[in-house]
Amino acid sequence: MEQLRFDGRVAVVTGAGGGLGKAYALLLGSRGAKVVVNDLGSARDGIGKSNFADEVVKEIKAKGGEAVADYNSVVEGEKIIKTALDNYGRIDILINNAGILRDRSFQKMSEQDWDLVHAVHLKGAYKTTQAAWDAFKKQKFGRVVMTSSNAGLIGNFGQANYSAAKMGLVGLASTLAIEGAKYNIKVNTIVPTAASRLTEDILPPDMFQAMKPELIAPVVAYMVHESFEDNGVIIDSTLGFAHKAHLVRSQGVPLRNKPADPVTIESVREKWAEVVNMNGARRIDKITEVTMDLVQSLQDFEDRSKMDSVNPSYWSTY
């Protein structure tokens, strides 16, 4: 099988001093990419600094690859992109991976817990991606991966701050995928589950051993390869599996019987089972589909109401 390579490409991986980011950096470095190994080197809660990006750079170089360390915080993403431009003259790939945890049940969550988690995950991804955007547009090439979490897609006790930021990244990716499309900038989202210091006290030991970041790295590497065509997708990956996830919308139902009728709390209750019935639910790919759907539904609704005034039994068959 032909090997997928990244020769000539420059990749920034944030939070690449350990865990998943390290696995991404090592893999890209082994396939010809020049890698900026960014890591602030903080503790799990975002406090402190150290140079553990150096070890990863050493490892990449020892295997014949090219890499440079960067110790900036992602909240100053422009400095990280500058490291790429200063050292290698370009930026092609950005994996927004840096992350921290400040888990607390919601009542006990401080504003600092909220702000710090949002700063690293959401603002960090915004700042770093925006700093690279102009280069991506000019060269008509860019591959970006955002890192979300099942805690965001599904929710998880004690992670209100983290869940909100992680779902925010999905929204960010969705819009950037649209804005970047005509410049061949693809923005996708990975939802990983892997053994790292973020999960060492959460996953059972056997599972922890099995959930190697190296099983996810090829998925992310494929998602930033020049041959990757999907844009705006969410890929959940762990243990050597990968799944696509997306939101779907139910078919819905009119909440009143005729255009002249009011919508009342009681009519909403009466129709609720149909509102939440997910048979025939579908994915909406473009926001214009929402408007077109609405126009079509209104038209159908008015036509049916007219029919109903001619034949009063018509509506009951709807």
Catalytically active residues, by annotation: 162
Q: How far apart are CA 75 and CA 166, in angstroms?
A: 16
Burial tier of 121 (Cβ tally within 10 Å: 0-12, 13-18, 19+): buried
Q: Which of 46, 65, 168, 232 binds ligand NAI (CB under 6 A)?
A: 46
Q: Which residues between 219 and 258 bind ligand NAI (CB under 6 A)? A: none
CA distances from 258 to 21, 262, 265, 307, 316 (A): 56, 9, 16, 11, 12
List 98, 173, 215, 223, residue binding ligand NAI (CB under 6 A):
98
104: left (phi over 0), alpha (psi -120 to 50) or beta: beta
Nearer to ligand NAI among residue 141 and residue 146 (C-beta): 146
Contact window for ligand NAI (CB under 6 A) among 19-27, 55-63, 251-259, 301-309: 19-27
Q: Is 149 in the site for ligand NAI (CB under 6 A)?
A: yes
Q: Note whether 77 binds ligand NAI by CB under 6 A.
A: no
Applying CB under 6 A, which of residues 83, 97, 189, 305 lies at the interface with ligand NAI?
A: 97
The answer to the question of residue 215 lying near ligand NAI (CB under 6 A) is no
Q: Please state, in angstroms and rounded to a whole number, the distance separating the CA atoms of residues 88 and 120.
A: 25
**Short-list 125, 142, 140, 40, CA closest to 91:** 142
By CB under 6 A, residue 27 contacts ligand NAI: no
Q: Which of 9, 11, 12, 21 binds ligand NAI (CB under 6 A)?
A: 21
Specify whether the CB–CB gap between 95 and 24 falls below 8 A. Answer: yes
Among 10, 35, 37, 40, binds ligand NAI (CB under 6 A): 40
Stretch that binds ligand NAI, among 56-64, 69-77, 177-185, 276-284 (CB under 6 A): 69-77
Q: Which H or E run includes 144?
A: strand 142-147
Long-range contacts made by residues 57-66, C-beta under 8 angstroms, separation at least 24? 59/26, 60/25, 60/26, 60/29, 60/30, 60/35, 63/26, 63/29, 63/30, 65/29, 65/30, 65/32, 65/33, 65/35, 66/29, 66/34, 66/35
Stretch that binds ligand NAI, among 38-46, 85-93, 134-142, 253-261 (CB under 6 A): 38-46
Smallest gap, in angstroms, from Cβ of residue 315 to ligand NAI? Answer: 48
Contact set for ligand NAI, span 99-118 (CB under 6 A) = 99-100
Nearest distance in Å: CB 189, ligand NAI: 11
Q: In angstroms, what is the minimal distance from the CB of 294 to ligand NAI?
A: 35
Inter-residue contact 126 to 82 (CB < 8 Å): no
Q: Binding residues for ligand NAI, per CB under 6 A?
A: 14-15, 17-21, 38-42, 44, 46, 73-75, 97-100, 120, 124, 147, 149, 192-194, 196-199
